[in-house]
Every structure is written in C-alpha cells, then in structure tokens.
Amino acid sequence: MSASIPNLNTLRRGRGRGRGGVVGSGGRVDNDAIVRNTDCDAATSRLSAVEAGYLNDPFARYLTDESWQRRLPLMNRGTYVRTTGIDRIVDTFLLSTTGQKQIISLGAGSDTRYFRLKQEQHTNFSYHELDFKENNKIKIARLKDPQCVQTIKTLCSIDISTSKTTEDELQSDDYFIHSQDLRDLPKKLDWIDENIPTLFISECCLIYLSPEQADRVLSYFTDMTTSAPTAVVIYEPIKPHDPFGQTMIRNLMSRGIQLQTIEKYSDLLSQRERLTSRGLNARAADIEQIWRDWIEQEEKDRIDKLEWMDEVEEFLLLAKHYCISWGWTNYDDESRWLALSAPT
C-alpha cells in the first residue's frame, strides 16, 4: 500500500526552488534546468518569426521543439530586430579582417547562426558553441535528423553527419559544440586560438550568471586574446526599475528565472562601460534604436506588411528594455565598426 504513494517531496522540490529562488545545496541543479529551458523559449520565438516571414532561417524548425507556438506580432518583430542586429555585428566582424577568424558563442543552445553564415557563403571562420551538456545532447540529436542533415547538405554544402560527435559534443572542420559550464572554466580552453581575430557572442547568457561570475567569464575571454583583434557582442534585457522593468523582473521570477546581472548593467551606459573597462571600444543601443536606425526603410515596409501590428506602444516599451552592446579592439581598420551607428 505504502509503496504506491509517491514521495510528494521529490515532486515539490523543483517547483519550490524555482519559485522562491532559494539556492540551497542541490538548488543549483534546479535553477540550471530553468536557465537551460530559456533556450526552448528562444527557439520558439525564432521559429515563430521564421514561420511568419520575418526571418529567413531554414534550419530553425529542425532545432526547435515540436511543441512550439506562434508568437504575437510584437514578439516576432522583437526577435527579428534582435537577430538582424546581432547578424549585422557578426558580419562586421567577419568582413573587418581577411584571414582565419573564430566566433565563440556562449550559451548558444539551439542557435542556427553557423548554418546561416555557411548558407551565405561566409568562409575563413570557425564557430564554437558552448552550452550545458543537456542542451548540447538535444541539439546534436536534432542535427542528426535525416531531414536536417539533408537541408544542411543542400543549403550549406556541409555533411554534418560525417562530423565527429559524442553524445554532447561535436567536432567538424569549422563547427564545434563544446559542453562547458561557464562557471567552471578551466585555466585554458585548448581549442581556442589566441592569435586570430575572435568574436564572443552572449545572447541572453551572461545575465543568468551572478555578476561576479559573469564578469569573470567576460574577462576570461577578453583577456585571452591580447594582441589579436577581439570583439564582443552582448544581447540582454535592461532597465529593471521602471514599471515595465519591475513587472518583467517579477514575472520572470515567478518562473524561477533570475536576471542576475540586470541591476549591475541596467542601462546603455553601464553596458558600454562593461566593455570599455576591458579595453574595448564599445557602443550600445536598445532594440528600438536598432529597429529605427539599422533596418532599411524598404525592409521596414516589408516587415510592416507581414502581420497587423496593433501593439505599437507595447513594442516600443518592450524594445526599450532590450539592448545590444558591442565592443572591438586591436583593429587596424575600424571603419566597419565605426559605421555601426549607436547613440552616444
């Protein structure tokens, strides 16, 4: 009789921790699961924007859970601006120098950028993704899906099925998936080449670490390449103090998601200083400014026609609370970087 009664405490644990944000012994595991899960959200948003015609990303559907749901027009627009904005910075990085380069994406999750770059015929770069073991397992399993393999073969001329894979890691000529907890970085990551231009991407990644951990991670990478051209792009929410921001913090907290560095890097200025203090030239712009200043009018007109956008004020509000900050250093020719406009 008693054997059939489930142990309610084991059931309760995850939820309780998540909600209260209590980190006890073992609490880390539960919070990690929540953070890992944010990738599912991001993938859903991406696929929604793809399906609605905002983004061209034939790979997204293979890397997204089947349970994805359509997002509202303002979310699609936000996803579009975020992706397009970061793409622009990646392009700037890739075009600024001629030789071999590397891109290191922190907490990459289900990101498809490598394949999109390959589809666009970019060469001379290697792409490294770092994430939790659990996320990598899912991604690698999905990449092995025959349809996915076929799509990648057709569009990128890459046979992903021939790459060396373990359960949670992948190695090919220029694409790598590493299982790495950013809180436990070793003294040296042996796959990093410190002597070639390097771009670090954090798309909603560092913000889930504690401020100390996040600072350590950022310094770890920016200190690594001392003389080679180095660039960083960080995308994350800002402005936690106004009513929208407060509500955002509260709502995410109720899902167990803590934006740990948002207090420290709460606005465009502090986001910029975070990079300048590490010796980079830095700029920052919120998503609303990126939409306004970076997207060509023709493209805006195309986007406007995709869906009825009855959330104009709401979009402005939302877009003001997300920022892209980027920095670069050791470049002989900075002209491409300087061409990226941002409010001073």
Partner 1 sequence: MARCAALLRQQMMRPEFLRRAWMSQLNEDGDEEASFSFPSSLIGLERWRLPQEGCVEFDQPRSSIVRSIRDNFEAIEEDATDLAIAQLRACRPIPEPQVRELCYKARELLIEEGNVVTVDAPVTICGDIHGQFHDLMELFRVGGDVPDTNYLFMGDFVDRGFYSLESFLLLLCLKVRYPDRITLIRGNHESRQITTVYGFYDECIRKYGSANVWRYCCEVFDYLALGALILGASTEVPENRMQEKTFDTQTTLPDQESEIECEVLDANGEVREKLFRSQGNMNPASASRKSPAPDRDPAESSSPATTVSQPPTSPSQSNTKPPTASLFQPPSTTTGSLLCVHGGLSPLISTLNAIRLLDRKQEVPHEGAMCDLLWSDPDDIEGWGLSPRGAGFLFGSDIVRHFNHKNDLSMIARAHQLVMEGYKEMFSKQIVTVWSAPNYCYRCGNVAAILELGEDGSHGGCIRRANGSEGRREMVGGSVNSVGDGETTNGSNQNGGGLNAVLWNLATPGRRYRVFEAAPQGTRGMPAKKPVGEYFL
Q: Which residues bind partner 1 (CB under 8 A)?
A: 38-39, 41-42, 45, 71-73, 75, 78-79, 82, 204, 237, 242-248, 251-252, 254-255, 257, 304-305, 307-310, 312-314, 317-318, 322
d(CA 255, CA 262): 17
CB nearer partner 1, residue 83 or residue 96:
83
d(CA 117, CA 72): 27
CB of 155 to partner 1, least distance (A): 26
CB nearer partner 1, residue 71 or residue 128:
71
d(CA 234, CA 232): 7
CB nearer partner 1, residue 84 or residue 124:
84
Full 3-state SS string of 300-336:
HHHHHHHCCCCCHHHHHHHHCCEEEEEEEECCCCCHH
d(CA 241, CA 117): 37
- Pairing assessment for the beta strands 125-131 and 101-106 based on DSSP bridges: parallel
CB nearer partner 1, residue 90 or residue 248:
248
CB of 253 to partner 1, least distance (A): 10
CB nearer partner 1, residue 134 or residue 169:
134
CB nearer partner 1, residue 257 or residue 280:
257
Give the single-character DSSP code of 229: -
d(CA 193, CA 314): 44
d(CA 126, CA 122): 10
CB of 224 to partner 1, least distance (A): 27
Residue 317 in tokens: 């509000």
d(CA 80, CA 235): 13
CB of 132 to partner 1, least distance (A): 15
CB nearer partner 1, residue 74 or residue 152:
74
CB of 21 to partner 1, least distance (A): 16
CB of 251 to partner 1, least distance (A): 5
Angle at 74 between CA 271 and CA 132, to 5 degrees: 55
Give the single-character DSSP code of 70: P
d(CA 246, CA 241): 6
CB of 207 to partner 1, least distance (A): 9
